[in-house]
Amino acid sequence: MRNETRTLFLDLDLQVEAYRFKGIMQKFPNHFHEYYVIGFIEKGQRYLLCQGQEYMINPGDLVLFNPYDTHSCEQIDGEALDYRCINVMPDVMKRFVMEITGTDSLPYFTQNVLFRHELNASLKELHIQILQKEKALKKEELFLNLLEELIRTYSDVTFLENAPEPSDEVKAVCGYLEAHYTENITLDDLSKLTGWSKYHLLRSFTKQKGLSPYSYLETVRINRAKKLLEQGVKPIETAFQTGFSDQSHLTKFFKRQVGLTPKQYMKIFEYDRQELEG
Protein backbone atom coordinates (compact mmCIF):
# COMPACT_ATOMS: atom_id res chain seq x y z
CA MET A 1 0.00 0.00 0.00
CA ARG A 2 1.33 3.44 -0.92
CA ASN A 3 2.33 5.84 1.83
CA GLU A 4 0.01 8.74 1.02
CA THR A 5 -0.08 12.10 2.76
CA ARG A 6 -2.96 14.52 2.22
CA THR A 7 -2.63 17.74 4.20
CA LEU A 8 -4.85 20.83 4.27
CA PHE A 9 -4.19 23.79 6.53
CA LEU A 10 -6.05 27.09 6.78
CA ASP A 11 -3.74 30.01 7.47
CA LEU A 12 -5.63 32.49 9.62
CA ASP A 13 -3.13 35.31 9.00
CA LEU A 14 -3.35 35.24 5.20
CA GLN A 15 -6.80 33.62 5.03
CA VAL A 16 -5.63 31.10 2.43
CA GLU A 17 -5.67 27.30 2.30
CA ALA A 18 -2.46 25.33 1.86
CA TYR A 19 -2.76 21.83 0.34
CA ARG A 20 -0.04 19.23 0.18
CA PHE A 21 -0.46 15.88 -1.57
CA LYS A 22 2.43 13.44 -1.29
CA GLY A 23 2.57 9.97 -2.83
CA ILE A 24 -0.89 9.99 -4.46
CA MET A 25 -2.01 8.50 -7.78
CA GLN A 26 -5.57 9.85 -7.77
CA LYS A 27 -7.15 11.03 -11.00
CA PHE A 28 -9.18 14.23 -10.64
CA PRO A 29 -12.17 14.55 -13.00
CA ASN A 30 -13.15 17.72 -14.83
CA HIS A 31 -14.24 20.31 -12.25
CA PHE A 32 -13.73 23.91 -11.19
CA HIS A 33 -13.13 25.90 -8.01
CA GLU A 34 -14.68 29.13 -6.82
CA TYR A 35 -11.23 30.37 -5.83
CA TYR A 36 -7.74 30.84 -7.29
CA VAL A 37 -5.26 27.96 -7.15
CA ILE A 38 -1.50 28.58 -7.25
CA GLY A 39 0.41 25.30 -7.13
CA PHE A 40 3.40 23.35 -8.36
CA ILE A 41 4.57 19.81 -9.01
CA GLU A 42 7.35 18.45 -6.80
CA LYS A 43 7.38 14.90 -8.15
CA GLY A 44 5.62 12.94 -10.88
CA GLN A 45 4.32 13.76 -14.33
CA ARG A 46 0.67 14.64 -14.95
CA TYR A 47 -1.59 15.11 -17.94
CA LEU A 48 -3.58 18.29 -17.37
CA LEU A 49 -6.59 19.44 -19.37
CA CYS A 50 -7.50 23.04 -18.53
CA GLN A 51 -9.91 25.29 -20.40
CA GLY A 52 -9.69 22.96 -23.42
CA GLN A 53 -5.86 23.08 -23.55
CA GLU A 54 -3.71 19.99 -22.96
CA TYR A 55 -0.48 20.06 -20.95
CA MET A 56 2.13 17.59 -19.73
CA ILE A 57 3.26 19.00 -16.39
CA ASN A 58 6.46 17.94 -14.63
CA PRO A 59 8.40 18.71 -11.46
CA GLY A 60 9.13 22.43 -11.31
CA ASP A 61 6.03 23.44 -13.30
CA LEU A 62 3.69 25.98 -11.71
CA VAL A 63 -0.08 25.92 -12.31
CA LEU A 64 -2.49 28.87 -12.09
CA PHE A 65 -6.26 28.35 -12.05
CA ASN A 66 -8.68 31.26 -12.05
CA PRO A 67 -12.06 30.82 -10.37
CA TYR A 68 -14.27 28.64 -12.61
CA ASP A 69 -11.41 27.46 -14.85
CA THR A 70 -12.44 23.89 -15.69
CA HIS A 71 -9.66 21.34 -15.38
CA SER A 72 -8.87 17.66 -14.88
CA CYS A 73 -5.61 15.77 -14.38
CA GLU A 74 -4.15 12.30 -14.03
CA GLN A 75 -0.77 10.65 -13.48
CA ILE A 76 0.95 9.39 -16.63
CA ASP A 77 4.45 8.23 -15.62
CA GLY A 78 3.58 5.54 -13.09
CA GLU A 79 5.14 7.53 -10.25
CA ALA A 80 3.15 9.02 -7.42
CA LEU A 81 2.40 12.73 -7.31
CA ASP A 82 3.90 15.20 -4.84
CA TYR A 83 2.12 18.56 -5.12
CA ARG A 84 1.76 21.77 -3.13
CA CYS A 85 -0.72 24.59 -3.67
CA ILE A 86 -2.38 27.53 -2.01
CA ASN A 87 -6.04 28.38 -2.57
CA VAL A 88 -7.05 32.04 -2.49
CA MET A 89 -10.70 33.10 -2.22
CA PRO A 90 -11.72 36.01 -4.50
CA ASP A 91 -12.32 38.41 -1.60
CA VAL A 92 -8.85 37.68 -0.22
CA MET A 93 -7.29 38.06 -3.68
CA LYS A 94 -9.08 41.38 -4.17
CA ARG A 95 -7.71 42.68 -0.87
CA PHE A 96 -4.12 41.83 -1.80
CA VAL A 97 -4.54 43.15 -5.36
CA MET A 98 -5.66 46.47 -3.89
CA GLU A 99 -2.46 46.51 -1.84
CA ILE A 100 -0.32 45.80 -4.91
CA THR A 101 -2.02 47.76 -7.71
CA GLY A 102 -4.46 50.10 -6.01
CA THR A 103 -7.17 48.56 -8.20
CA ASP A 104 -10.39 47.10 -6.81
CA SER A 105 -10.46 44.23 -9.32
CA LEU A 106 -9.78 40.53 -9.64
CA PRO A 107 -6.92 39.44 -11.91
CA TYR A 108 -7.41 36.95 -14.72
CA PHE A 109 -4.30 34.84 -15.23
CA THR A 110 -3.77 34.31 -18.94
CA GLN A 111 -1.44 31.29 -18.60
CA ASN A 112 -2.49 28.19 -16.70
CA VAL A 113 0.96 26.56 -16.70
CA LEU A 114 4.36 28.20 -16.17
CA PHE A 115 6.96 25.59 -17.12
CA ARG A 116 10.05 25.12 -14.94
CA HIS A 117 9.38 28.43 -13.28
CA GLU A 118 11.66 30.20 -10.82
CA LEU A 119 8.66 31.34 -8.73
CA ASN A 120 8.32 27.75 -7.52
CA ALA A 121 11.03 28.48 -4.95
CA SER A 122 9.04 31.40 -3.53
CA LEU A 123 5.81 29.42 -3.53
CA LYS A 124 7.46 26.47 -1.78
CA GLU A 125 8.98 28.75 0.87
CA LEU A 126 5.58 30.37 1.47
CA HIS A 127 3.88 26.96 1.63
CA ILE A 128 6.39 25.69 4.20
CA GLN A 129 6.00 28.86 6.26
CA ILE A 130 2.22 28.32 6.33
CA LEU A 131 2.42 24.65 7.32
CA GLN A 132 4.94 25.45 10.04
CA LYS A 133 2.67 28.21 11.38
CA GLU A 134 5.30 30.90 11.11
CA LYS A 135 4.62 34.53 12.09
CA ALA A 136 2.48 36.70 9.87
CA LEU A 137 5.12 39.22 8.72
CA LYS A 138 7.32 36.78 6.79
CA LYS A 139 4.33 35.08 5.19
CA GLU A 140 2.78 38.40 4.13
CA GLU A 141 6.04 39.54 2.53
CA LEU A 142 6.37 36.28 0.60
CA PHE A 143 2.73 36.29 -0.49
CA LEU A 144 2.71 39.92 -1.65
CA ASN A 145 5.94 39.48 -3.61
CA LEU A 146 4.64 36.29 -5.23
CA LEU A 147 1.31 37.83 -6.19
CA GLU A 148 2.93 40.98 -7.55
CA GLU A 149 5.09 38.98 -9.95
CA LEU A 150 2.20 36.77 -11.05
CA ILE A 151 -0.23 39.66 -11.54
CA ARG A 152 2.14 42.00 -13.34
CA THR A 153 3.68 39.34 -15.59
CA TYR A 154 0.95 36.77 -16.17
CA SER A 155 -2.37 38.58 -15.84
CA ASP A 156 -1.39 40.98 -18.67
CA VAL A 157 -3.22 43.69 -16.70
CA THR A 158 -6.38 41.80 -17.64
CA PHE A 159 -9.06 41.40 -15.03
CA LEU A 160 -11.52 38.64 -14.33
CA GLU A 161 -14.58 40.54 -15.50
CA ASN A 162 -12.98 40.81 -18.96
CA ALA A 163 -12.55 37.07 -19.39
CA PRO A 164 -14.49 35.44 -22.26
CA GLU A 165 -18.19 35.36 -21.38
CA PRO A 166 -20.53 32.44 -22.08
CA SER A 167 -23.79 33.04 -23.93
CA ASP A 168 -26.84 34.38 -22.09
CA GLU A 169 -28.47 30.96 -22.32
CA VAL A 170 -25.50 29.19 -20.75
CA LYS A 171 -25.27 31.85 -18.02
CA ALA A 172 -28.98 31.27 -17.33
CA VAL A 173 -28.38 27.53 -16.99
CA CYS A 174 -25.46 28.13 -14.60
CA GLY A 175 -27.63 30.44 -12.52
CA TYR A 176 -30.42 27.88 -12.41
CA LEU A 177 -28.08 25.06 -11.37
CA GLU A 178 -26.55 27.23 -8.66
CA ALA A 179 -29.99 28.21 -7.31
CA HIS A 180 -31.62 24.75 -7.49
CA TYR A 181 -28.67 22.45 -6.75
CA THR A 182 -30.58 20.53 -4.05
CA GLU A 183 -33.32 19.53 -6.51
CA ASN A 184 -33.63 16.72 -9.04
CA ILE A 185 -32.88 18.73 -12.20
CA THR A 186 -33.45 17.26 -15.66
CA LEU A 187 -32.32 18.25 -19.16
CA ASP A 188 -35.99 19.00 -19.87
CA ASP A 189 -35.91 21.68 -17.16
CA LEU A 190 -32.82 23.27 -18.68
CA SER A 191 -34.13 22.92 -22.22
CA LYS A 192 -37.31 24.82 -21.31
CA LEU A 193 -35.21 27.49 -19.64
CA THR A 194 -33.15 28.19 -22.77
CA GLY A 195 -35.53 27.26 -25.58
CA TRP A 196 -32.83 24.92 -26.93
CA SER A 197 -33.18 21.23 -27.69
CA LYS A 198 -31.61 18.94 -25.12
CA TYR A 199 -28.88 17.93 -27.56
CA HIS A 200 -28.01 21.53 -28.49
CA LEU A 201 -28.05 22.51 -24.82
CA LEU A 202 -25.70 19.69 -23.86
CA ARG A 203 -23.25 20.42 -26.68
CA SER A 204 -23.28 24.21 -26.28
CA PHE A 205 -22.98 24.17 -22.49
CA THR A 206 -20.12 21.66 -22.52
CA LYS A 207 -18.27 23.59 -25.22
CA GLN A 208 -18.59 26.94 -23.44
CA LYS A 209 -18.05 25.81 -19.83
CA GLY A 210 -15.67 22.89 -20.36
CA LEU A 211 -17.86 20.40 -18.50
CA SER A 212 -21.37 19.02 -18.81
CA PRO A 213 -24.41 20.42 -16.96
CA TYR A 214 -24.36 17.41 -14.63
CA SER A 215 -20.65 17.84 -13.85
CA TYR A 216 -21.27 21.55 -13.24
CA LEU A 217 -24.12 20.68 -10.85
CA GLU A 218 -21.97 18.17 -8.94
CA THR A 219 -19.20 20.75 -8.63
CA VAL A 220 -21.65 23.33 -7.28
CA ARG A 221 -22.85 20.76 -4.75
CA ILE A 222 -19.29 19.96 -3.66
CA ASN A 223 -18.46 23.65 -3.24
CA ARG A 224 -21.58 24.14 -1.10
CA ALA A 225 -20.74 21.00 0.88
CA LYS A 226 -17.28 22.37 1.66
CA LYS A 227 -18.79 25.51 3.18
CA LEU A 228 -21.12 23.46 5.40
CA LEU A 229 -18.33 21.15 6.54
CA GLU A 230 -16.17 24.17 7.36
CA GLN A 231 -18.99 25.35 9.64
CA GLY A 232 -19.06 22.00 11.44
CA VAL A 233 -22.13 20.46 9.79
CA LYS A 234 -21.76 16.66 9.91
CA PRO A 235 -21.24 14.83 6.58
CA ILE A 236 -24.56 13.01 6.75
CA GLU A 237 -26.47 16.27 7.19
CA THR A 238 -24.29 18.01 4.61
CA ALA A 239 -25.19 15.32 2.08
CA PHE A 240 -28.92 15.95 2.46
CA GLN A 241 -28.52 19.73 2.44
CA THR A 242 -26.58 19.71 -0.83
CA GLY A 243 -28.66 17.35 -2.96
CA PHE A 244 -26.70 14.11 -2.56
CA SER A 245 -28.73 10.97 -2.02
CA ASP A 246 -26.75 9.90 1.06
CA GLN A 247 -23.39 10.26 2.81
CA SER A 248 -21.62 7.66 0.66
CA HIS A 249 -22.71 9.51 -2.48
CA LEU A 250 -21.26 12.74 -1.06
CA THR A 251 -18.04 10.99 -0.01
CA LYS A 252 -17.50 9.47 -3.46
CA PHE A 253 -17.77 12.79 -5.31
CA PHE A 254 -16.07 14.82 -2.59
CA LYS A 255 -12.91 12.70 -2.57
CA ARG A 256 -12.82 12.63 -6.38
CA GLN A 257 -12.75 16.42 -6.56
CA VAL A 258 -11.12 17.55 -3.30
CA GLY A 259 -8.77 14.64 -2.63
CA LEU A 260 -9.99 14.28 0.96
CA THR A 261 -13.06 12.65 2.50
CA PRO A 262 -15.72 14.95 4.00
CA LYS A 263 -14.74 13.79 7.50
CA GLN A 264 -11.06 14.58 6.90
CA TYR A 265 -11.99 18.00 5.53
CA MET A 266 -14.33 18.80 8.43
CA LYS A 267 -11.76 17.79 11.09
CA ILE A 268 -9.20 20.24 9.70
CA PHE A 269 -11.63 23.12 10.12
CA GLU A 270 -12.63 21.93 13.60
CA TYR A 271 -9.02 22.46 14.65
CA ASP A 272 -8.86 25.88 12.97
CA ARG A 273 -12.11 27.00 14.60
CA GLN A 274 -10.72 26.03 18.01
CA GLU A 275 -7.55 28.05 17.32
CA LEU A 276 -9.62 31.04 16.20
CA GLU A 277 -11.81 30.87 19.30
CA GLY A 278 -8.79 30.41 21.54
Residue 192: which CATH number? 1.10.10.60
Strand partners, 55: 48
Of the residues 111, 130, 161, the one at which a domain ends = 161
Instruction: Give the per-residue pLDDT at 68.
Output: 93
Instruction: Name the E strands within the chain.
Output: 5-11, 16-24, 28-31, 36-43, 46-50, 53-57, 62-65, 71-75, 81-88, 113-114
pLDDT for 59: 95
Query: What residue type is 210 in one-letter code?
Result: G
Same domain, 35 and 99: yes
Side-chain half-sphere of 164: how many Cα atoms within 13 Å? 9
Same-domain check for residues 55 and 116: yes
- 179 & 86 share domain: no
Query: 95 with 12, same domain?
Result: yes
pTM: 0.81
Helix/strand/coil for 146: helix
What is the extent of the structural domain holding 270?
Answer: 168-277
Task: Provide the number of structural domains found in the chain.
Answer: 2
106 & 123 share domain: yes
SS3 content of the chain, % helix, strand, coil (to 5): 45, 20, 30
Q: Going residue by residue through the chain (278 aa), what tens digit of pLDDT does each one get?
A: 468 888 888 899 999 999 999 999 999 999 999 999 999 999 999 999 999 899 999 999 999 999 999 999 999 988 899 999 999 999 999 998 888 888 888 899 999 999 988 899 999 999 999 999 899 999 999 999 999 999 988 986 555 555 567 889 999 999 999 999 999 899 899 999 999 998 899 989 988 888 889 999 999 999 999 999 988 999 999 999 999 988 999 999 999 888 889 998 888 777 555 554 44
Residue that terminates a domain, selected from 119, 135, 161: 161
| Residue of 6, 4, 146, 185 whose CA lies nearest to 80 | 4
Residues 172 and 106 in one domain: no
Q: Can you say how many angstroms the Cα of residue 73 is from the centroid of all Cα atoms in its chain? A: 13
